Amino acid sequence: MRKLLDDLGIRCLSTHNSATALTPEGLPKAIELNQIIGSRAIVMASPPRITSLDGWKMLAEQLTRASATLQPLAMSAGFHNHAAEWSPVDGQRPVDILAAGTPRTFIMQLDVGTCVAAGADPVAFIKANPGRVKSVHCKDWAPGTVAEEKSYRVLFGEGTSPWKQIFETAESIGGVEYYLLEQEGSRFSEMETAQRCLSTYRSMRG
């Protein structure tokens, strides 16, 4: 994989990992693999099944311990949100529990599409976590029926996400270091989808 990245001139800035990769048992292997491909951020892509506030607090403690292990290696741990983390549990959003219970070096990787789909405000979240949103998944969302699967199939820039405000806030407050364009299928082929999304991003960002 590293050879392929080098041959294509591509840098791997972070990776998506299972929940076990950031446990004491799984972290050594995750570190080895990420160091090989040049990634400096090990991001939990999905949490284990959690149903209580105490469970989310325990996950924050686990992620804090992982961050402490990674910091001397000039690496970081992170968490990638999905819709569930925006839904309150006993009056508190899990994403806020994770942000409050982890150190400032911990990356709150913002998936904009799932945030907006859950009815949350991505700009407000960035403002509430200055310097913590170091990477943003530029995935859009628009209302649609589940059967038609149109909600996430809109191209980047076609949905309801306030991209101008997101970019401005992420760069002035969030501490963003890079953006990741993400698309969950579309009405176009894979390559045309990528080209269109990249073209829209460039037109927005200059």
Max intra-chain CA distance, the chain: 50
CA dihedral defined by 102, 30, 3, 6, rounded to 10 degrees?
10
Domain 1-103 falls under CATH 3.40.1360.10: no
Residue 3, judged by CB atoms within 10 A of its CB (0-12, 13-18, 19+), counts as exposed
CATH of domain 106-206: 3.20.20.150
Q: Is the pLDDT of residue 184 over 70?
A: yes
CATH 3.20.20.150 domain range(s) in the chain = 1-103, 106-206
The model carries a pTM of 0.93
Residue 54 makes CB contacts below 8 A (sequence gap 6+) with none
H runs (alpha helix) in 9-154 = 27-37, 53-70, 94-100, 112-117, 122-128
Helix (H/G/I), strand (E/B), else coil: 147? coil
**pLDDT, tens digit (0-9, with 9 covering 90-100), for 93-111:** 999 999 999 999 999 999 9
Is the pLDDT reported for residue 89 higher than 90? yes
Spell out a b/e string for 13-47, using b for 16 or more CB atoms within 10 Å of the CB, else e.
ebbebebebbeeebbeebbebbeeeebbbbbbbeb
pLDDT per position as a tens digit, 65-84: 999 999 999 999 999 999 99
Average pLDDT over residues 184-204: 95
Average pLDDT rounded to a whole number, residues 35-57: 96
